[in-house]
Amino acid sequence: MYQLKTRKNKNNLFVRNCIAQALFELLKKKSFEEITVTDIINKAGVSRMGFYRNFATKENVVEDYILDIFVETIEEIRAKRALDFSTARIMITTLENFKKYADIIQLFLDKGMEFLLYDCYQKAYFILRESRKQKSSHIRDYSEQMFIGELFSLEMCWLKSGMKESPEELARIYRLIHLSRK
């Protein structure tokens, strides 16, 4: 399981970053399915052993990159609000970070990789729950799954519509939608 404070050594970080950047460059020209590990290692300038020492599959490259974004988001939430995990704080900080990485996420969407992104959203939220040391409950599990789906859909819609609203405005809209449902 991915750890909240996972940090690899500097050499591994460099190799992992080279691999990720190579994959992103290749995605600009090919579909995800067409890209091979050989393509990635040739573009990255790393050995096959270097790839497999860091990743089991090319999907793991994307997953690791997206989970690092979520870990960064969680760390920012903690820094900003001393463990205030309110929905509004989570929403605004998540949207701020999402906006920073919008170009890469758009690339994933253009290549039909929504399934992989959504899977990362689910994993990231479980990391967040573990970091809060909350026990699972039936109602909380359903509630969190709904929030994950809503957040994912909201961010994808925001990206596709050109991200005209600020993160704060979009969080306010989200809140108003929820209030109108009651």
| Euclidean distance between CA atoms 149 and 136, whole angstroms | 18
| Euclidean distance between CA atoms 125 and 144, whole angstroms | 8
Q: How far is CA 23 from CA 44, 59, 64, 110, 157, in A?
A: 8, 10, 12, 14, 25
Residue range 42-70: average pLDDT? 94
Burial-class residue 96 by CB neighbours within 10 Å (0-12, 13-18, 19+): middle
Q: Judge whether residue 63 has pLDDT over 80.
A: yes
Q: What is the pLDDT of residue 4?
A: 43
Q: What is the pLDDT of residue 155?
A: 94
Closest to 24 in 3D by CA, of 39, 9, 7, 6: 39
Let me know: does 109 contact 159? Beta carbons within 8 Å.
yes
Q: Judge whether residue 20 has pLDDT over 90.
A: yes
Closest to 151 in 3D by CA, of 181, 113, 131, 121: 121
More confident residue, 48 or 75: 48
What CATH number is given for 6-55 in this structure?
Answer: 1.10.10.60
- CA atoms 37, 42, 45, 46: torsion sign: positive
| Euclidean distance between CA atoms 161 and 159, whole angstroms | 5
| Euclidean distance between CA atoms 44 and 49, whole angstroms | 13
DSSP assignments along 94-147, one per residue: HHHHHHHTHHHHHHHHHTT-HHHHHHHHHHHHHHHHHHHTPPP-HHHHHHHHHH
All structural domains of the chain with their residue ranges: 6-55, 58-181
Q: What is the pLDDT of residue 71?
A: 83
Q: Tell me what the pLDDT averaged over the chain comes to.
A: 86
- Whole-model pTM above 0.75? yes
Q: What is the pLDDT of residue 84?
A: 57
Residue range 97-119: average pLDDT? 92
Dump pLDDT digits (tens) for 21-33: 999 999 999 999 9
Dump pLDDT digits (tens) for 114-160: 999 999 888 887 777 776 666 767 888 888 888 889 889 999 999 99
